[in-house]
């Protein structure tokens, strides 16, 4: 068994300092991903800093939007009155993820940080550049059914497993982090990264930084009526997405004033469909409009041996989610 030190600080600055002192230190929040990885021997920390007593749980309105503390649980966020009323896409996406028990434990910060569910990442006997840089990628020639369509590299074709992240990127959220050099804000779209030559890095957070909150902008509240989160998975509960789509439309007089569209299960990061969003703007709400948007969204997609089916599944999911969000059909 790996021996580790366990700390439970009361102040954010103390938690950050403990991280700076030893690079093999991990923050523990809900533990729904980290504890699994520790049990499997994938992560062997020297020090575990339990951050659950830090004052990072609040959900509150600000002058620019809605502040969500990094330690707010997924359940609290999904059921929060302001979020259900003004950012319902986020509630739908969170409730599509995991199980009620996991959502009670999992936190917003932890959801941002969760690792891929590529099976080779968890199998210590297989090569995996994400787990062990330079060892190779077993998924490239392996069973790559769950893997990426967009933005992959010859080093890694894994996908980000989160549902929450898909809605967050569609809503233009901002991630607030704190480190020894002070606080900074990162656009949600820039928080997760593509694998490139360094798939060992999932995101742009520095090793000595802590996520303190996520902010939803007030501008996203115009997308509070016509929304849908469609998640296609192998079973109806407690499974990761093969493909998911977060769709939000601002519609006036049957015309699309604005669109927010993002996909999950298709890339190393939540995949925002900005070109399709631009196409949708000003168009009428018709099935044909949505079919054209899906064609645009799929440009550049590349499948591997076992995930060819996603090339058909993904555009169909986009069309269906837009039809449901717009009210053309019911869920």
Residues of this chain that interact with ligand SF4 (CB under 6 A) are 116, 118, 120-121, 128-130, 137-139, 156-158, 199
Shortest distance, CB of residue 268 to ligand SF4, whole angstroms? 8
Closer Cβ to ligand SF4, 138 or 167, answer by number: 138
Q: How far is the CB of 236 from ligand SF4 (least distance, A)?
A: 26
Residue closer to ligand SF4 by CB (options 128, 318) is 128
Look at strands 182-187 and 47-50 and give their pairing: unpaired
CA dihedral (312, 315, 320, 321) in degrees, to 10, reads: 130
- CA-nearest of 329, 269, 268, 263 to 293 is 263
Instruction: Tell the smallest beta-carbon distance from residue 129 to ligand SF4 (Å).
Output: 4
Residue 11: how many CB atoms within 10 A of its CB? 11
Closest by Cα among 144, 293, 328, 312 to 243: 312
C-beta closer to ligand SF4: residue 121 or 223: 121
Torsion angles phi and psi, residue 128, rounded to 5: -160, 115
**Of residues 69 and 195, the one with the C-beta less far from ligand SF4:** 195
* Residues 111 and 229: beta-carbon distance below 8 Å: no
Min separation Cβ 78 and ligand SF4, Å: 28
Shortest Cβ distance from residue 186 to ligand SF4 (Å)? Answer: 23
Strand, coil or helix: 254: coil
Torsion of CA 218, 223, 224, 229, to 10 degrees: -120
Residue whose tokens read 């799929």? 298
Smaller CB distance to ligand SF4: residue 43 or 128? Answer: 128
252: β partners: 255
Q: ∠ at Cα 16 (11, 19), nearest 5°?
A: 135
- Are 262 and 169 a contacting pair, CB within 8 Å? yes
DSSP 33-90: THHHHHHTTS---SEEEE-TTSS---EEE-SSEEEEETTSBHHHHHH-HHHHHH-HHH
Q: What are phi and psi of 321, to 5 degrees?
A: -65, -35
Question: Is the Cβ of residue 135 or residue 286 nearer to ligand SF4 in the bound state?
Answer: 135
What is the closest distance, in whole angstroms, from the C-beta atom of residue 305 to ligand SF4 in the complex?
Answer: 13
* Shorter beta-carbon distance to ligand SF4: residue 147 or 231: 147
Based on CB atoms, which residue is closest to ligand SF4, 223 or 271? 271
Least separation in angstroms between residue 197's CB and ligand SF4 is 11
What's the rounded Cα separation, in Å, for the pair 288 and 270?
Answer: 26
Cβ at position 271, least distance to ligand SF4 in Å: 16
């Amino acid at each position: 068994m790996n021996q580790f030190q366990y700390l439970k600080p009361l102040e954010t600055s103390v938690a950050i300092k403990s991280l700076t002192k030893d690079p093999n230190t991990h923050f523990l929040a809900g533990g729904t991903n980290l504890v699994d990885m520790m049990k499997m021997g994938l992560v062997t920390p020297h020090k575990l800093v339990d951050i659950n007593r830090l004052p990072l749980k609040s959900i509150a309105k600000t002058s620019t939007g809605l502040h969500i503390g990094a330690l707010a649980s997924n359940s609290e966020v999904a059921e929060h009155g302001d979020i259900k009323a003004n950012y319902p896409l986020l509630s739908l996406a969170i409730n599509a993820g995991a199980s009620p028990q996991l959502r009670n434990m999992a936190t917003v910060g932890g959801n941002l940080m969760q690792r891929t569910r590529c099976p080779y990442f968890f199998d210590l006997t297989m090569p995996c550049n994400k787990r062990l840089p330079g060892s190779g990628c077993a998924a490239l020639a392996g069973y790559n059914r769950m893997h990426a369509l967009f933005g992959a590299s010859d080093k890694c074709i894994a996908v980000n497993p989160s549902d929450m992240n898909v809605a967050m990127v569609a809503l233009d959220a901002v991630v607030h982090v704190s480190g020894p050099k002070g606080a900074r804000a990162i656009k949600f779209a820039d928080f997760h990264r593509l694998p490139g030559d360094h798939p060992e890095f999932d995101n742009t957070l520095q090793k000595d930084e802590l996520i303190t909150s996520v902010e939803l902008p007030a501008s996203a509240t115009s997308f509070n009526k016509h929304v849908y989160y469609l998640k296609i998975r192998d079973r109806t509960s407690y499974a990761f997405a093969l493909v998911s789509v977060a769709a939000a439309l601002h519609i006036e007089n049957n015309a699309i004033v604005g669109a927010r569209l993002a996909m999950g299960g298709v890339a190393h990061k939540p995949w925002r469909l900005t070109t399709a969003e631009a196409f949708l703007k000003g168009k009428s709400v018709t099935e044909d409009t949505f079919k054209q948007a899906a064609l645009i969204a799929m440009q550049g997609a590349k499948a591997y041996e076992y995930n060819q089916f996603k090339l058909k599944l993904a555009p169909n999911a986009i069309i269906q989610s837009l039809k449901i969000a717009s009210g053309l059909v019911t869920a």
